[in-house]
Amino acid sequence: MPETGSANADLIAAAARGERPGLVRVANHQTAGRGRLDRQWESAPGASLLVSVLLEPLAPEVIHRVVGAVALSLAEALRALVDAGVRIMWPNDLVVGDRKLAGVLAESAVAGGEIRALVVGVGCNLTPDAIAPNYAATAIDVQTATGRVCDRNALLDAFLRRLDHRLGGLDHIDADIAAQSATLGRRVLIELPDGTRTGVATALLASGALVVTDDDGVAHEIVVGDIVHLRHAD
Please give, one letter per residue, the 3-state secondary structure of 105-152: EEEEEEECCEEEEEEEEEEEECCHHHCCHHHCCCECCHHHHHCCCCCH
Which residue, 192, 190, 191, 171, is CA-closest to 202?
Answer: 190
Regions in the chain scoring below 70 on pLDDT: 1-4, 29-43, 111, 232-234
What is the predicted pLDDT for the residue at 18?
86
What is the predicted pLDDT for the residue at 24?
96
Give a yes or no: residue 234 inside a domain.
no
Number of structural domains in the chain? 2
Which residue, 141, 116, 150, is CA-closest to 21?
Answer: 116
Q: How far is Cα 159 from Cα 153, in angstroms, rounded to an integer? A: 10
**Residues 43 and 70 reside in one and the same domain:** yes
What is the predicted pLDDT for the residue at 69?
97
Report the CATH number at residue 220: 2.30.30.100
What is the predicted pLDDT for the residue at 54?
96
What is the predicted pLDDT for the residue at 6?
82
Other Cβ atoms less than 10 A from the Cβ of 148: the count is 12
Q: Tell me the backbone φ, ψ of residue 66, rounded to 5 degrees.
A: -65, -45
State the residue range of the domain holding 198. Answer: 187-229
**Residues 42 and 149 reside in one and the same domain:** yes
Give a yes or no: residue 200 inside a domain.
yes
What is the predicted pLDDT for the residue at 207?
93
In tens, the pLDDT along 148-183 reads 999 999 999 999 999 999 999 998 899 999 999 999
**Residues 89 and 171 reside in one and the same domain:** yes
What is the predicted pLDDT for the residue at 222?
96
Give a yes or no: residue 1 inside a domain.
no
Cα 151 off chain centre by: 20
Single-letter residue type at 69: A
**Residues 157 and 198 reside in one and the same domain:** no
**Residues 108 and 196 reside in one and the same domain:** no
**Residues 42 and 156 reside in one and the same domain:** yes
**208-211-212 Cα angle (round to 5):** 140
**Residues 208 and 107 reside in one and the same domain:** no
What is the predicted pLDDT for the residue at 234?
43
What is the predicted pLDDT for the residue at 136?
92
